[in-house]
Amino acid sequence: MRSDALLQIVLGAILLSVIGIRLYYMRSMRLPSKGRQGRGVKVSLRFRLGMLCGFALIATALVNPAWMSWSCLPLPLALRWCGAVLGVLAVCLLFWVHHSLGKNFSPQLRIRQEHALCTSGLYQWVRHPMYTILFMLSIAWLVGLANWLVGVFWLTIQTIVIGKRIDREEAELLEHFGDEYRAYMKRTGRFLPRLR
The CATH number for 157's domain is: 1.20.120.1630
- Assess if residue 194 is contained within a domain: no
Mean pLDDT for the stretch of residues 17-42: 66
- Assess if residue 193 is contained within a domain: no
- Assess if residue 77 is contained within a domain: yes
- Tell whether the model's pLDDT for residue 52 goes beyond 60: yes
The confidence band for 35, taking pLDDT boundaries of 50, 70 and 90, is: very low
The confidence band for 42, taking pLDDT boundaries of 50, 70 and 90, is: low
pLDDT at site 51? 78
CB 33 within 8 A of CB 111: yes
- Assess if residue 60 is contained within a domain: yes
- Assess if residue 196 is contained within a domain: no
- Assess if residue 83 is contained within a domain: yes
pLDDT at site 33? 44
Range of the domain at 131: 3-27+36-109+117-187
- Assess if residue 195 is contained within a domain: no
Helix (H) or strand (E) holding 134: helix 129-145
The confidence band for 76, taking pLDDT boundaries of 50, 70 and 90, is: very high
What is the distance between the alpha carbons of residues 29 and 191, in angstroms, rounded to a whole number? 24
Cα 48 to Cα 43, 108, 112, distances in angstroms: 9, 10, 21
Number of domains in the chain: 1
As a whole number, the mean pLDDT across the chain is 86
pLDDT at site 29? 62
- What values do phi and psi take at 189, rounded to 5? -90, 160
- Assess if residue 192 is contained within a domain: no
Taking the model in full, what pTM does it have? Answer: 0.85
pLDDT at site 31? 47
What is the distance between the alpha carbons of residues 28 and 25, in angstroms, rounded to a whole number? 5
Residue with the larger pLDDT of the pair 109 and 193: 193
